[in-house]
């Protein structure tokens, strides 16, 4: 059975150009990674949870921001990890000066040390132009940026 992940891509129109809200994964593994490491806020649904509901919950847990409808399906894609990622698009607003609030997870660090520490699932977020977002996002998620642009070009 394939693993499934669900996410929300928040966009805004700034100076008549589309911008994308992306997040950077927290923890020591990603501390020095930037290009190709950013992501759409996402996570795995509970066993019986509706995918759109899971995507909204995960977005809130990783950012502290409540997604607001309408939501538009950007369909799914297969990730390198083998997961199938489903994404919904919505327009929203976020002021970078307000920061984000992310949930945490426990990690053994350094590896095999027996020591555990709590790290944020997401350590920062940013509004990015299409060009910058294409450079910074995990390459397997970039298709959702293109689908969002296509959606807004038809709207």
Domain ranges of the chain: 4-154
- What integer is the mean pLDDT of 139-151? 97
- Separation between Cα atoms, residue 81 and residue 42, nearest integer Å: 14
Query: Which is nearest to 141 in space by CA: 8, 1, 2?
Result: 8
Tokens standing for residue 133: 């977002």
CA 72 to chain centre: 15
Tell the residue number behind the tokens 């759109």, with chain if given: 52
What pTM was estimated for this model as a whole? 0.94
Q: Could you read off the pLDDT of 19-41 as tens digits, one per residue?
A: 999 999 998 889 899 999 999 99
Residue 2: its pLDDT value, please? Answer: 64
Q: Could you read off the pLDDT of 43-84 as tens digits, one per residue?
A: 999 999 999 999 999 999 999 999 999 999 999 999 888 999
**Is the predicted pLDDT of residue 1 greater than 60, yes or no?**
no
Buried b (16+ CB within 10 A) or exposed e, 29-47: ebeeeeeebbbbbbbebee
Q: What is the CATH number of domain 4-154?
A: 3.90.79.10
pLDDT bracket for residue 110 (50, 70, 90): confident
pLDDT bracket for residue 101 (50, 70, 90): very high
CA 87 to chain centre: 9
Residue 109: its pLDDT value, please? Answer: 83
């Amino acid at each position: 059975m394939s693993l499934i992940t669900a996410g929300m891509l928040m966009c805004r129109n700034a100076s008549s150009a589309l911008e994308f809200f992306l997040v950077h994964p927290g923890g020591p593994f990603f501390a020095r990674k930037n290009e190709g490491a950013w992501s759409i806020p996402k996570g795995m649904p509970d066993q019986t949870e509706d995918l759109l509901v899971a995507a909204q919950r995960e977005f809130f847990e990783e950012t502290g921001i409540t997604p607001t409808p309408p939501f538009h399906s950007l369909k799914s894609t297969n990730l390198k990890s083998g997961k199938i990622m489903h994404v919904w698009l919505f327009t929203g607003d976020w002021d970078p000066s307000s920061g984000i609030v992310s949930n945490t997870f426990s990690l053994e660090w350094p590896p095999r040390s027996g020591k555990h520490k709590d790290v944020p699932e997401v350590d920062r977020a940013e509004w990015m132009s299409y060009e910058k977002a294409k450079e910074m996002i995990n390459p397997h998620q970039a298709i959702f940026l293109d689908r969002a642009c296509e959606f807004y070009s038809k709207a």
